[in-house]
């Protein structure tokens, strides 16, 4: 019982820790420098984790280099990366918490229905962070701002998956 109470507190704690104004600005400005590289970002995720690519019926088993040039890939990349942009636009303002919850709730519901497990979302996170490290001006402050933001988002997501 105690264990679950502590666990529940941790989950709530993870959700309830908003980013500072500085952290939010850092996440938003670094994201602004790559947010339109949608195809590049999704391709980096698939390259790092072919098991994620394999879950997309349209893309499973196909050669990534040629997929990258297809309209279908661009459309999907736009949806997924665009979703991240929607979330990032909302961070740093507590009044946006309900909107963030709604978006994460939709993501959790649609992906739960597809049987996507937390482990695969963690892979996505790792690949996204690696992409950022390689493509934005990265330093310890940038890293801790992104860690805080992603911890919040993944905390909310995993509570609903
Ligand atoms: C981590 C592993 C993930 C897997 C395996 C996965 C898988 C999928 C699949 C199979 C679809 C349906 C594609 C289709 O219609 O043919 C989809 C749709 C979508 N995914 Fe993911 N996804 C993952 C992570 C994410 C993440 C991290 C985001 C956003 C941050 C995201 C956002 C979306 C969006 C916006 C759609 C389109 C709307 C919808 O159908 O829900 N996905 N995903
Ligand atoms: C925070 O969000 C609310 C509701 O969307 C908006 O009215 C307000 O202007 C925002 N505040 C800042 C500082 O952006």
CATH number assigned to the domain comprising residue 57: 1.10.490.10
The Cβ of residue 102 has, within 10 Å, a number of other Cβ atoms equal to 10
Specify whether the CB–CB gap between 23 and 149 falls below 8 A. yes
Cβ–ligand 2 distance for 96 under 6 Å, the answer yes
- With a CB cutoff of 8 Å and minimum separation 6, the contacts of 105 are 160
Cβ–ligand 2 distance for 94 under 6 Å, the answer no
Residue 91 C-alpha to ligand 2 middle, in angstroms? 11
Q: What tens-digit pLDDT sequence spans the chain (161 residues)?
A: 445 444 444 444 444 578 999 999 999 999 999 999 999 999 999 999 999 999 999 999 999 999 999 999 999 999 999 999 999 999 999 999 999 999 999 999 999 999 999 999 999 999 999 999 999 999 999 999 999 999 999 999 999 99
The Cβ of residue 26 has, within 10 Å, a number of other Cβ atoms equal to 23
Specify whether the CB–CB gap between 38 and 103 falls below 8 A. no
Rounded to whole angstroms, how far apart are CA atoms 159 and 52? 21
Q: What is the pLDDT of residue 143?
A: 98
Cβ–ligand 1 distance for 114 under 6 Å, the answer yes
Specify whether the CB–CB gap between 144 and 22 falls below 8 A. no
Top mutation candidate among 18, 21, 92, 93 for ligand 2, by most atoms within 8 Å of CB: 93
Cβ–ligand 2 distance for 95 under 6 Å, the answer yes
Cβ–ligand 1 distance for 112 under 6 Å, the answer no
Question: Containing domain of residue 33, as a range?
Answer: 3-160
Protein residue closest via CA to atom 3 of ligand 2: 95
Domain count, the chain: 1
Pick from 40, 95, 92, 93: nearest CA to 69 = 40
């Amino acid at each position: 019982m105690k264990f679950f109470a502590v666990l529940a507190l941790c989950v709530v704690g993870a959700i309830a820790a908003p980013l500072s104004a500085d952290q939010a600005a850092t996440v938003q400005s670094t994201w602004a420098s790559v947010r339109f590289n949608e195809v590049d970002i999704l391709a980096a995720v698939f390259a790092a984790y072919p098991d994620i690519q394999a879950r997309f019926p349209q893309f499973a088993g196909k050669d990534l280099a040629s997929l990258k040039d297809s309209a279908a890939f661009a459309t999907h990349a736009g949806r997924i990366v665009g979703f991240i942009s929607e979330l990032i636009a909302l961070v740093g303002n507590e009044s946006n918490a309900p909107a963030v919850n709604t978006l994460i709730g939709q993501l959790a519901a649609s992906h739960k229905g597809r049987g996507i497990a937390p482990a695969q979302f963690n892979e996505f996170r790792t690949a996204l962070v690696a992409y950022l490290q390689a493509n934005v001006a990265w330093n310890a402050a940038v890293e801790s701002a992104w860690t805080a933001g992603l911890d919040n988002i993944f905390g909310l997501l995993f509570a609903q998956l």
